[in-house]
Amino acid sequence: MTPSPDARPPVLSVRGLSVRFRLSGGRHVAAVTDARFDLAAGECLALVGESGCGKSVLASALLGLLPGNARSTGSAVLDGDTDLLAADERTLARSVRGRRIGLVPQSPAAHLTPVRTVRSQLEETLRELTGVRKPALREAAEAAAARASFPAGHLDRYPHQLSGGLAQRAATALALIGDAPLLLADEPTTGLDRDLVERTVDELRRHTDEGRALLLITHDLAAAERIADRVAVMYAGRIVELADAGRFFEGPGPRHPYARGLLDALPERDFAPIPGMPPELGALPEGCAFAARCARADERCGRLPVFDGTVACHHRLSADDDRRSKERTDA
């Protein structure tokens, strides 16, 4: 693992990032609320949580890819000089996307050009971002594909001829080409079997070990455990825990009951699902959004817990809770 991120200047510094969607009838949905974290060079931060908690919305806000009915506030400063939330589309398109931030998208079909082969898209990206020209272009495209375990025999196929897993690997290959200082991987293992999951995240880890930053957005906790330095847990649009990966996955374990529930739901642990369902983002309670699903909830949970940089909970867990959890798993 890498040294403490506090020892290095952040590649990305997020403060108070919030995203609201305006709906018909004057209603609003709070998709992300007051997200704050730093991400250093050579570090992988895994942002985890159930589907619909706001992880991908946060990623879209960083890249300026939110729809027209969305409004983002706060700041997200890249390399100390560019606030991504304040930058105009020209700046984001010409100097940020692909060059300073590489994106592995959640829906690769939306990012691959349907009328061009994978090879031609790789070659175009290589020309634009690295300056490679013929006759080296063909070999460079094949090398770029190999980095993402994309088979050379499929390079001359069109996106509609690819399986979901192959499309995901093609999108990953495109994202890695520029060796951007920050890589944003939004569910990069979707549609892949376990062997390819491990190969994909190991390549992302290599990207990080070479001194670049990685924000990994995933619901795959096994993938996060394999490569992450730190873990941020998101619930109902808020980051509720931020922890060192070793502490989170091994010991003393998560301190937020929701984060503990995510781990206990894994087959290799208790295999016990979290009861209930997450609240609708358009109808969040005034207090703790997890209270309705939490066995520890009491009257204090009617007040919104404050995130202190590590956890936001009135009933944060202790090492003894983690020990008891492990004893149940071992039994």
Q: What is the residue whose two structure tokens read 């062997």?
A: 195
Tell me the per-residue pLDDT of 68-78, one tens digit each, with 9 for 90 and over: 999 999 999 99
228: pLDDT confidence band, cut at 50, 70 and 90?
Answer: very high
Tell me the per-residue pLDDT of 162-195, one tens digit each, with 9 for 90 and over: 998 899 899 999 999 999 999 999 999 887 889 9
Whether the pLDDT of residue 45 is over 60: the answer is: yes
- Separation of first and last alpha carbons in the chain: 31
- pLDDT the model gives residue 5: 44
Tell me the per-residue pLDDT of 243-298, one tens digit each, with 9 for 90 and over: 999 999 998 999 999 999 999 999 999 899 999 999 999 999 999 999 999 999 99
Q: What average pLDDT does the segment 145-169 reach? A: 94
Domains and CATH numbers, the chain: 5-88+214-330 (3.40.50.300)
Residues of the chain with pLDDT > 70: what percent?
Answer: 94
Name the CA dihedral angle for 117, 120, 122, 125, rounded to a multiple of 10 degrees. -130
- pLDDT the model gives residue 2: 46
26: pLDDT confidence band, cut at 50, 70 and 90?
Answer: confident
Is residue 101 within 8 Å of residue 186, measured between CB atoms? no
8: pLDDT confidence band, cut at 50, 70 and 90?
Answer: low
Whether the pLDDT of residue 101 is over 90: the answer is: yes
Tell me the per-residue pLDDT of 46-68, one tens digit each, with 9 for 90 and over: 999 999 999 999 999 999 999 99
| Own/partner pairs, 26-31, CB within 8 angstroms, 24+ separation | 27/282, 28/282, 29/281, 29/282, 30/237, 30/281, 30/282, 30/284, 31/57, 31/70, 31/237, 31/281
